[in-house]
C-alpha cells in the first residue's frame, strides 16, 4: 500500500515537471534561432559592404567562396539547433530568411521571418512572412 502511494506521488510530480522541461527546450531553441537570424543579417550586411550585393545563397558566405567565412558551416547547411533556415535572394538589394522549427507537437516553436531590414517577425503554427507582427 505504501509503495503505491509513493509511486503515485512520484508520477504526479513527474507530470508537473515534464511539460516545463519541454517548454524550456522550445524556448532555448527559439532563442538560438533568433541569435542565428541576427548573425545571418549581420553576415549579409557585411557581404553587401564587401561584394556590393547580397549573397545568392548561404553557401556564398562560407568557404571556399569567401575566406574567412561570414557564417559557420552548420548554419550554411540550413539546419541548426532545431530550426531550418531558408534564405532567398529576391533582388540584388532584397533578401528574406525564414526560420522554421523542425520539431512537432509540444516541441514545435514559433516560425520566424526576417528581411534585409533586420526586423524579425513571428507566427505560431505556420510559416511567418512580411505581414506578421514584428518581434524585434
Q: What is the pTM of this model?
A: 0.86
Task: Report how far residue 101's alpha carbon sits from residue 105's, in angstroms, rounded to the nearest whole number.
Answer: 11
Expressed as residue numbers, the domain containing 76 is 2-123
Question: Does residue 62 form part of some domain?
Answer: yes
Question: Does residue 136 form part of some domain?
Answer: no
Question: Does residue 134 form part of some domain?
Answer: no
**CATH number assigned to the domain comprising residue 9:** 3.30.540
**Tally of domains within the chain:** 1
CA distances from 30 to 21, 89, 99, 106, 130 (A): 14, 24, 9, 13, 19
* Residue pLDDT tens, the chain, 136 long: 788 888 988 888 888 888 788 888 889 999 999 999 999 999 999 999 999 999 999 999 998 889 899 999 999 999 999 999 999 999 989 999 999 999 877 677 899 999 999 999 999 989 999 999 998 8
Amino acid at each position: 500500500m505504501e509503495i503505491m502511494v509513493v509511486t503515485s506521488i512520484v508520477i504526479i510530480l513527474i507530470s508537473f515537471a515534464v511539460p516545463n522541461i519541454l517548454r524550456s527546450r522550445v524556448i532555448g531553441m527559439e532563442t538560438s534561432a533568433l541569435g542565428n537570424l541576427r548573425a545571418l543579417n549581420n553576415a549579409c550586411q557585411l557581404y553587401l559592404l564587401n561584394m556590393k550585393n547580397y549573397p545568392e545563397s548561404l553557401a556564398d558566405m562560407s568557404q571556399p567562396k569567401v575566406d574567412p567565412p561570414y557564417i559557420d558551416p552548420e548554419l550554411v547547411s540550413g539546419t541548426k539547433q532545431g530550426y531550418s533556415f531558408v534564405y532567398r535572394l529576391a533582388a540584388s538589394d532584397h533578401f528574406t530568411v525564414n526560420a522554421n522549427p523542425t520539431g512537432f507537437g509540444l516541441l514545435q516553436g514559433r516560425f520566424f521571418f526576417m528581411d534585409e531590414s533586420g526586423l524579425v517577425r513571428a507566427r505560431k503554427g505556420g510559416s511567418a512572412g512580411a505581414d506578421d507582427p514584428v518581434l524585434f
